[in-house]
Amino acid sequence: MNIAVFASHGGSDLQAIIDGCKNKEIKAVVSVVISNNSASMALQRVQNEGIDGYHLSVKTEGTEELLAEKLLCVLRKYNVDMIFLAGYMRLLHPSILETYHNRIFNIHPALLPKFGGKGMYGINVHQAVIDAGEKETGVTIHRVNAEYDSGEIVAQTKVPVLENDTAEVLAERVLQREHEFLVEVISDIVDEKIQLGWSDI
């Protein structure tokens, strides 16, 4: 199975997926990585790994429609079976959602439907969890649709919130579990324990 990973910034989740494929925990390959940020660490990581990476954004292509056409062209070139959003900070164009229907997944550092939606990413999520007095948080992997963090949840794992946690401390604890959980769930998708949808590719 060929996986495309979309990432905007550091790419630590991307690295976890690459490593999971390399050590055969995931029986698939990361065939291409796409970032909307030319300076992202994600693109540096794939250069180091010998994986093809592309900087594609409205800036490079001109319009959302032209960006979607270019993305689909690249995805077809690499025979992509599944797309994983690993810290990708943009909504996908409807044409991509339709072409890869139920084959696009996202990871979110909280237990959705709580603490999701526009603006709820990174440290913002963990601060919101602490401010709400939650005793547990976690990681959610869900299918991607046209709204932030609202697609079908396919897997969740819980992480405790401790009494003296800061947002930064909690973020580290969640991220450690996030990397492990990513590999577990993608492996389940590849092994068909979690079903992929149809596609027009």
> Of the residues 108, 126, 142, 179, which is catalytic?
108
Cα(178)–Cα(86) distance, rounded to whole angstroms?
11
Enter the DSSP assignment of 162: P
- Establish whether 55 is a catalytic residue: no
Residue 152 DSSP label? P
Q: How far apart are CA 183 and CA 41, in angstroms?
A: 20
Cis link prior to 109 (omega < 30° from 0)? no
CB 54 within 8 A of CB 74: yes
Specify the residue for token string 């237990």.
111
Q: Both tokens of residue 39?
A: 């300076």
SS3 for 46-65, per residue?
A: HHHHCCEEEECCHHHHCCHH
Q: Which residue has the tokens 């939650």?
A: 134
* Spatial separation of the C-alpha atoms in residues 18 and 180, rounded to whole Å: 12
Residues involved in catalysis: 108
